[in-house]
Structure 1
Amino acid sequence: MRLHFSSPFRAWLDALGAQRARLLLLVSGSVSLGLLALVWSFTWQRLESEKALTRANAQVQQQNLTAIISENLTQVLDRGRLMAITAESCLDGQDKGAGARLSAMIAADRIFLRVALYDEQLRQVYASSSGRDEPELLTAMAEFLRTPASQGVARLGLAPLPLANEQAWQIPLMVPVLGPRDQPAGVLLLVLDLGYFLRLYHHIDIGRTGRIQVLRLDGQVVAEARQEGLVLQSAGARNPNLLPVNQPQGAMEADLYRDGRTHLSNYQQPHQMPFRVVVSREMGDILAVHQATRDRFLGVLSLVSALFLGASLWVTQGIRRQARYTAALAQADHDNRALITQLEDEKRRAFVMASHDPLTGLPNRRMFNELLSSHLQQAKRNRKHYALMYMDLDHFKQVNDTLGHHVGDLLLQAVSKRLRTVLRDSDLIARLGGDEFAILLTALERADDAAVVAAKIVSELCKPYLDLDGHEIQASPSIGVALFPRDGHDTDALCRNADAAMYQSKRAGRGHYTFYDASLNPADARLFNLAQRLPRAIAEGELVLHFQPKVNLSDYQISGFEALVRWQHPEHGLIYPNDFIPLAERTGAILELGDWVAEACCQQLASWRKQGQRLVPIAFNVSAIQLHDSLLPERIAQLLTRYELDGTLLQVEITETCLVESMDVANTVLHQLEQLGIHIALDDYGSGFSSLAYVRTLPIHCLKIDRGFIHDIRNSPDDAVIVSSIITLAHNLKMCVVAEGVELVDQLVHLKTAGCDQVQGYFFSRPVPADEASSLLNRPSLAPT
């Protein structure tokens, strides 16, 4: 059953629900914050308790260690007193074996390094080992004998410490030797090895900053040990006298060593001993483990608190977010409309900037070409005449160079203004760049009208330009005119012909206009005639092969030939491949030409074999278009069968461009050629941009270094390094290396030193006809003289 409420009642329910939601959020938020504060308080108290416990444990540990060391040191000194009692027999001379017992006692106790007995006049009565008595030592013993016996602490005295570093831990201790009526009859000098004594505690973990020190009562450091070992003290080193004077033992937490760090220190003075034992450790070191645990707990708690607060905030914001959606959507719609308007304005400004010249305000080359194409489409549907003019200013560079570019800019602006006054609104004017302008005369009634307009432009632009930044300039234009459709049916043809006519005007003396004539491009006409005759030249046998030898650098014998095609033209004479190979590739005749070259190589090999001549491989070039032909391997296989030749007598040379343009098909074709026994050579290596992956994965057997690296190899360290790198690369890939363009003996020596396998170039022979190549084969070698 569905209940239906009126709108006011529904609004009241919504308001009530909103109040309950706010109340619930307030209560839950308060409870959550209270729980969070309680958790933080409990965690903090626990961490503080653990900190206090850690400090107390450390103090107890140090107190125990201090007591153990003090007790052990007391036992050592008691053994010294026992030696003093034995020494009394040496002084009165009644016991002859007293010295032997002293020697046995010191031999059995490693902590005593030396024992020496002195009588009341400080004469040495006994010594366990030889040694020189310093004056300071004798003075100290004399003062020690004069000290009244009632001063108990002084009855064990410390002699002056040795100054030598190697004796730093050898502590001389003075013990009184009593005579009759317990009066001092002499002094027993005991040299203790406190270094040995302290090393007995090296296994005890006193922490990274822990110290065990033996101090005189005046604070002088007698010996010190740390975790890493004994510490060598400088002469007279003292600790600040912060230890209480009247307390034989205790603990303190202070900056004991004046290094800015708080240390927990325990100290104890052995009974009736003239020094104290101090064990201390830096508080930061003691609390390090606790601090790490503390940081980890606080970090986790902070993360949980942040997540908790974030979740609470997200819930709160979720309730408020819905109420703001409507206003936000309305504002967003208003902003989007304003943004669209702004973008449209920016688009219009960007289009104007991209399509117009910023200096003159005329359309630029890109815009002009689009408008020209549009007008030519219209011209094809009517009978009007259209004329394209290319114009530039004569000697404009001199204006920039002599008067400055700002004057040149003013001149260009003045020229554009004059062009607008001369031409109609329907005509197009554009600045193509620099001082070059393009003009399209549209819908002319007669073709001769173009000459009238061109003459008017020349006349107007030849007038002086006054007051261009204070300068008066005389300029003249050179104009080339191409008519549609007589001089071209598309944009490219008209622009090319108008440009050719403009340069003809410059050659005619400048300040002229010239209509395009086909005779202005005789080179194009020659190339056109060659392209038309090339298929006929292939069919009628006008092509010939010349052969350039490849020479082994090991024995200077000919290892092969490269076949180079020539065109014996009946009118133009011998034409080299650079003139007609590109024509063959553009017209599609390259396939027929390539087949002719392959068969001509096979014919020549068969002819030499019939003459009994030694046969060497002949290499011929294969273009990228030929590598697109999947039937190429089949046709070459038929030629090898027809002339009964082995595939190893043929080599195919390809360029890096072939690999880049036809990688997939080239891979298949080259592998099929390799199966015929034909070796593949990569020609002009280093001049292109092919990847080394091609060289590694394709069946390439030889690298031919481009002649550009060989030309200046003697003087260019960079070229020498590149050539050496290519040779090393090829040899590592089990490839042969051929260097092209070798013309000098210095180049030959460098290549031979670098490890190159073969060379070819004018140094040994130019490309020669077949009969001269046969003569070269008859020579035992082509070694340089």
Structure 2
Amino acid sequence: MQRLFILPFIFLMVCLACTIGWFLYRAGNDATEVLARNALMEVMGRVGQAIDRQTLSARESLRVVAPDPIPPLEIGGKPVLIPFPTDRRLLEERLWIANSLFEDPSYVYFGGVDGSFTGLRQESANVYMFSTRDGQGGKNYVYYLNGPGTEMKLRAVQEYEPRDRPWYTRAVERKRETWSPVFTDFRLKFLGLTLSKPVYAESGQLLGVATSSIGLRHLTTFLQTLPLGSNGVAFVTEMGGEMIASSANEALYKPTTGSEFERLNASRSTSATVQQAFMAVQEYLKTNKPVPGQLVLLASPAGNNQIAVAFRLHHDDAGIDWLAISAAPRSDFLGSVTGGVYQTLLLGLVAVCLTFVIGFVLLRWVLRDIRMLTLAAKSIGNGEPFPKLNIDRSDEIGQLAQSFQEMERNLRTDRLTNVLNRDSLIAQIEFRRRNASEANPLHFALLFIDLDRFKAVNDQFGHDEGDRVLISVASQLQRALRRDDTVARFGGDEFVVYLHGVSDEEIAKSIAEKIRHSINKPIPGRDGHEYQIDASVGVALFPQDGLDVETLLRVADSRMFDQKRMHRILAY
């Protein structure tokens, strides 16, 4: 009888222990999936910002050489055309200004309809290449110099007809800004990209084509600095898979014959993770049409050989169609959970062997803590307020809880200024949109703020002083807002302010002007210096200017650049 009693009791304890293990595995597996998703979302947000910065440098340099028409102040009015200089000296001044806008200078040049050509590129520190060609039948003269007004030394005389070049003919055919295909610069040995724009006189007559050419090597350098884990990758490709940038340590092109190069395709990458991720994206695109700017997270079934994949299509009307992809093996995230799961399972087995009651209490205790971690991780991904974790433990689960809280701070706030970051602001706005209703409609305004004269502080006094300015600006913005309003740093010297309940454009503009005045106050710096900066602010209203956050940001960004161009014109 005693044996008959012991055997069912042992069987019951084994079943209970297996149940504990199964629940622990399921909870750990759920937490792993959420961790993978949020980590990839953070990486993709940074990659998107890097791509935007890279293409923005070409676009803004080009707009200095050939500015867009100024929008009319009144509805129905005509845009104001900024005359293109016919004097070569004035054109050269614009080229020098355009070349100095960004830390990574671009090659800016202009080909005239008469066959003339003027170009400027920074080869290295204080070394510039200046090219010039007269009209029909002239030679192209290449000079080297150390800066504006310095002695020019002739280096080469070339046969060069700009009107036959692809950058010229494509822009003339399309009659608008046009990106070139990604190319390999055979002389400087890096991938590059060119943005060209036809220039017209006020009469509509074609004057020529202005162009800004940029290198893409800094995009790879940025990807290699991302916190991707031991086996994670991030890369950017064209739609066909031709690699543009990659965090994997591999050459993106190789020489074939002469000055020709063969680009690396993601399907032939030396990284198995890159190959798997690209194949997963291609399978998705066979049955789904990608939406530009939309982040897509692909399913990650359980298994040691499976990977978590996220991608986004970057598109603009000038001709860019790039896939930004991030991926990591699921095991990279599982390792942070399984240790705590196995240790807790062992404790559960010991407790069950002691008494049935202790085992049951332990089961509830373990599941409660892991479930709290899972719900907390899901709340981060959904943009909801982060719940308080009342987990006071010193084991791996306690460490994981601390990691969750640290991850929440890293995911939602900018580390330098301690305000929200881009993805966190967008997630919070989307959370408010989902919870709005006809009985409780949502109205808000977005202010896109870009600092003027900030680059001068960085260049003259160093990045530490530039960081001091950014921290001060973030603090001023927080003090200027109400409790329901929010400020976020979007990267570099750009901030976005969310104004809750603001539906009137004039009110939003008055708040924007108030913010601009608060930023315009002198900022104390090192050694008694004071920095005087300004800001350009663009306003967009929901739902008047757009029904989604990306549209509102584009509208506010465009209006901000219109104001920035006006500031530059007034400064001249």
> Do they superpose with TM above 0.5?
no
Structure with the higher helix share, 1 or 2: 1
TM-score (norm 1): 0.23
The structure whose RCO (Cα within 8 Å, separation 6+) is larger is: 2
TM-score (norm 2): 0.31
